[in-house]
Amino acid sequence: MKGTTPIIAVILLLLITIAAGGSTYLWLSRTQSKLFTQTTTGIEESGKDVYGRLSIVSTWNESSQLCVLIRNGSDQDITYKAADLTKMAVLVDKIPCTFNTTGLNDMRQSEVSSFCIDNSTSKCRYDGTESSILIKVEPPFGNGDSYEFTYP
């Protein structure tokens, strides 16, 4: 019986060492995976800010609404989600305006979408008495565009 105690002690030490090594490996691999995911997401988000671009293709007056056609003019494969576009700022002659978000859809590179600004809102009045108005869109990331709409 005197020989079994050291053998059991060695086996226990080996099991403790294996358990410690295994848990360290799991912790390191999870941490590495989390850091990789966060870094990738951060790079993608900063790429959106640098390379993202919305441009105004055209505008038209439709009964009591001013409609705007926008295009994703990003330099890289960046998608503007409809949820992102609902957060964009739309200014008419430097006045922030609300717009109808129902026509917005996801826009991949070079795709278009449209929205309309209702003329009945008190802040954004355009009755056609001015010869032109300046429309500006500022997306939540990337660069926006300005467009001068001239009344026919």
User: Whole-model pTM above 0.85?
Assistant: no
Q: Which amino acid is at 36?
A: F
- Residue 55: predicted pLDDT: 92
- Spell out the residues 6+ positions from residue 81 whose beta carbon is closer than 8 angstroms to its own: 106
- Residue 76: predicted pLDDT: 83
- Spell out the residues 6+ positions from residue 101 whose beta carbon is closer than 8 angstroms to its own: 82, 85, 86, 115
- Residue 146's SS3 state is strand
- Residue 82, phi then psi, degrees to nearest 5: -60, -35
Token pair in block for residue 1: 């019986």
- CA proximity to 51, closest of 75, 77, 84, 71: 75
Q: What is the pLDDT along the chain (152 residues), one digit of tens a residue?
A: 566 788 888 899 999 999 999 999 999 999 998 988 888 777 777 777 788 899 999 988 877 778 899 999 888 888 888 888 889 999 888 888 888 888 788 989 889 998 888 766 656 666 656 678 888 999 988 888 888 888 76
- Residue 26: predicted pLDDT: 93
- Spell out the residues 6+ positions from residue 77 whose beta carbon is closer than 8 angstroms to its own: 108, 109
